[in-house]
């Protein structure tokens, strides 16, 4: 049975119920500013195991541990570099995750067998209160079945997990819509492992140049460091094709592709960034990368529900949140990208 807790604003009595579930080793899905998380006590092996089972997640794909104050980091990480302090001061709570050397108290199941741990402090009052009231660090991957788009509303979580987990907190739609930025601080200089809700440029403005893992732009090289990258993510049932380049050329190409697929009798969906297309379904994601990020996963889920065979997606510039958007789009496309010069 799944209890759905409806929350607009902050209602401590209700969060206390969910916090008790966490302490009892049960699963609670909750909103963050990025996407919904599927949470459990990060230090309880049995509880964390349930997350992997519920999601169908490969056991070597590590989880992010969520904390509510900086001091909790000392319980999880065995050493904390200066950059972590500087970046946390500037961006926490917020969509930035650090990878740090782990303490023995963090079970290996939580870190997918790695000797590092990923930690972040989410900028969402419900999430922060849940962590505080449960008095536990909370391990939480995105609350989707492995391989599905991340959930940006409680409805998405209900679609994937109703009847399979103890509790879902409905806190409305998430603000950012793509997951947190993951930064490996065990390396010098630090390395971006996953672009996300905090743009790379903003991090570099504070700590200077950082390296970017090749998987960020779709090159699969050093798998060991970015275990999340080897799995097909955000994979809708339809085939996704990303078309990027000059706006007018992209438009022309998509119009042409729609006609081609229609001739073959296929149902076509388009994800545009401002424009309209005569496709079977056309979803306008928005005019800037913030809007596109917010609407992206919801659109992928909607197009799946519509039963389209092909999804044609207009690319965006890989700047600001655009880097995260393109990373997710390319992954959904299994790296089928048409680049027009």
**Contacting residue, 64, 128, 241, 312, with ligand TXA by CB under 6 A:** 64
- Residue 149 binds to ligand TXA (criterion: CB under 6 A): no
Distance CA 315, CA 245 (A): 7
- Residue 42 binds to ligand TXA (criterion: CB under 6 A): no
Count other C-beta atoms under 10 Å from residue 162's C-beta: 12
Token pair belonging to 246: 């000059």
Closest distance to ligand TXA from the beta carbon of 43 (Å): 15
- Residue 32 binds to Mg ion (criterion: CB under 5 A): no
Site track 180-199 with ligand TXA (rule: CB under 6 A), x = hit = x-x----------xx-----
Count other C-beta atoms under 10 Å from residue 283's C-beta: 21
- Residue 37 binds to ligand TXA (criterion: CB under 6 A): yes
- Residue 72 binds to ligand TXA (criterion: CB under 6 A): no
- Residue 97 binds to Mg ion (criterion: CB under 5 A): no
DSSP string, 18-87: HHHHHHTT--EEE--SSS-EEEEETT-HHHHHHHHHHHT--TTSPPEEE-SSGGGHHHHBS---HHHHHH
* Closest residue by beta carbon to Mg ion: 142
Number of residues lying near ligand TXA (CB under 6 A): 28
Q: Segment near ligand TXA (CB under 6 A), from 155-163, 179-187, 292-300, 323-331?
A: 179-187
Distances from the Cα of 62 to the Cα of 19, 58, 223, 334, angstroms: 23, 9, 13, 21
Closest distance to ligand TXA from the beta carbon of 290 (Å): 15
Closest listed residue to residue 243, CA positions, set 265, 279, 273: 273
Distance CA 255, CA 242 (A): 13
Closest distance to ligand TXA from the beta carbon of 219 (Å): 16
Pairing of strands 96-101, 116-120: antiparallel
The C-alpha torsion from 45 through 51 and 53 to 56, rounded to 10°, is: -140
**Contacting residue, 151, 199, 228, 322, with ligand TXA by CB under 6 A:** 228
Closest distance to ligand TXA from the beta carbon of 133 (Å): 18
Closest distance to Mg ion from the beta carbon of 253 (Å): 30
**Contacting residue, 142, 273, 289, 295, with Mg ion by CB under 5 A:** 142
Distance CA 96, CA 339 (A): 30
H/E element, 133: helix 125-134
Site for ligand TXA, residues 238 to 277, rule: CB under 6 A:
none
Write out the residues near Mg ion by the rule CB under 5 A. Answer: 142
Write out the residues near ligand TXA by the rule CB under 6 A. Answer: 32, 34-35, 37, 61-64, 95, 97, 99, 111, 114, 116-118, 122, 140-142, 179-180, 182, 193-194, 226-228
């Amino acid at each position: 049975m799944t209890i759905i807790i409806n929350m607009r604003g902050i209602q401590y009595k209700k969060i206390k119920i969910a916090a008790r579930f966490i302490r009892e080793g049960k699963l609670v899905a909750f909103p963050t500013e990025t996407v919904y998380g599927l949470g459990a006590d990060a230090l309880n092996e049995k509880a964390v195991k349930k997350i992997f089972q519920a999601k169908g997640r490969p056991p070597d794909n590590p989880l992010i541990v969520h904390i509510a104050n900086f001091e909790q980091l000392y319980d999880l990480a065995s050493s904390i570099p200066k950059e972590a302090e500087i970046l946390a001061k500037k961006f926490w709570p917020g969509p930035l995750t650090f990878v740090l050397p782990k303490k023995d108290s963090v079970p290996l199941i939580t870190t997918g067998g790695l000797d590092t741990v990923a930690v972040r402090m989410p900028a969402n009052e419900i999430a922060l209160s849940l962590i505080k009231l449960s008095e536990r660090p909370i391990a939480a991957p995105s609350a989707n079945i492995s391989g599905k788009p991340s959930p940006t509303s409680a409805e998405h979580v209900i679609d994937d997990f109703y009847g399979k987990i103890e509790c879902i907190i409905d806190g409305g739609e998430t603000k950012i819509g793509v997951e947190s930025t993951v930064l490996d601080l065990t390396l010098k200089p630090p390395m971006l492992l996953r672009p996300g809700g905090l743009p790379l440029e903003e991090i570099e403005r504070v700590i200077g140049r950082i390296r970017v893992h090749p998987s960020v732009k779709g090159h699969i090289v050093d798998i060991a460091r970015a275990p999340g990258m080897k799995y097909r993510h955000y994979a809708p049932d339809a085939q996704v094709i990303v078309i990027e380049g000059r706006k007018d050329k992209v438009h022309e190409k998509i119009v042409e592709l729609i006609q081609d697929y229609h001739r073959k009798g296929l149902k076509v969906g388009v994800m545009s960034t401002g424009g309209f297309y005569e496709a079977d379904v056309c979803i306008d994601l928005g005019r800037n990368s913030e809007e596109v990020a917010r609407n992206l996963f919801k659109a992928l889920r909607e197009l799946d529900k519509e039963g389209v065979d092909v999804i044609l997606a207009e690319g965006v510039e890989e700047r600001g949140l655009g880097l995260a958007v393109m990373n997710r789009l390319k992954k959904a496309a299994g790296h089928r990208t048409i680049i027009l010069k």
